[in-house]
Amino acid sequence: MPGEAEAGAIPGSLAAPRPLRPVAPGPAETVLWEGRPSLGAGRMLELLFILVLLGLLTWVAVLLIAPHLGGSAFAGRPGPEALPLILALVIGTVIIIALPVWLRSSARGRARYMLTNRRALVWLGRSVIGEAILFGAEMEVTPTGVAFWAHGLYLDWRLKDERPDQLRFERILDPETVAAIAEGQGARRLPPPA
């Protein structure tokens, strides 16, 4: 019945609703492990790829607009006063395409990982941007990371990509240690892909 306390709750009190965003560990949670992605060749290659991609996008945007600078049936004959608007359009297009890519890559590089006795968490600054409940979670272990899938999984848009939604601890130094801690809290290791 609405308004009644849930089973096991203190009589006369209502269960607190689950917050929309995950919260920091409270007094009932114990931090078992913390780590960060390692800065290595993979991170440098990722940054180089983003810079090359941005350069290519800028070049393509200029190539698309360049024929219209001399005049065309579509754009008419632009005068010198149109140059700032054209540059603003080129720069705006590159920013619209590049900003989400840069924000996602930057967030993944600055992330902090944490395992508590209840949850796997990804932090960015002072905010939790990813959460997976460990008890009953399925866990995939790779040579460079650990990925968790659980019901009630929370992922910020910066952690989502083209792969299935999983909370990933990427580029960590000792994934086997992290996996052993998570198994001790109720996560189940999936067999490696064949």
Rg of the chain, C-alpha, whole Å: 24
Please state, in angstroms and as integers, the Cα–Cα distance from residue 43 to each residue in 55, 91, 128, following that order.
19, 26, 22
- More confident site: 25 or 63: 25
Is a pLDDT exceeding 60 seen at residue 55? Answer: yes
Minimal CA–CA distance to 131: which of 36, 25, 28? 25
Query: Distance of CA 108 to CAs 18, 146, 159, Å?
Result: 26, 14, 7
pTM for the whole structure: 0.67
Beta bridge partners of 35: 113
Give the pLDDT score at 93: 77
| CA–CA gap between residue 42 and residue 44 (Å, rounded) | 5
pLDDT at 42 (0 to 100): 64
pLDDT at position 1 is 45
Residue 41: pLDDT band with limits 50, 70, 90? low
* Cα torsion 105, 109, 110, 113: sign: positive
Question: Please, are residues 172 and 38 in contact by the beta-carbon 8 Å criterion?
Answer: yes
Mean of pLDDT values over 68-80: 69
Mean pLDDT over each residue of the chain, to the nearest integer: 81
**What are 136's two structure tokens?**
């009953």
What pLDDT is recorded for position 106? Answer: 76
Task: Flag whether pLDDT at 5 surpasses 70.
Answer: no
Return d(Cα 27, Cα 29) in angstroms, integer: 6
pLDDT of residue 6: 47
Helix (H, G, I), strand (E, B) or coil at 147: strand
Q: Over the stretch 119-166, which tens digit does the pLDDT of each residue have?
A: 999 998 899 999 999 999 999 999 889 999 998 899 988 888 777 889
Query: What's the Cα-to-Cα distance from 119 to each of 59, 111, 116, rounded to whole Å?
Result: 45, 16, 5
Please name the residues in contact with 55: beta carbons below 8 A apart, sequence gap of 6 or more: none
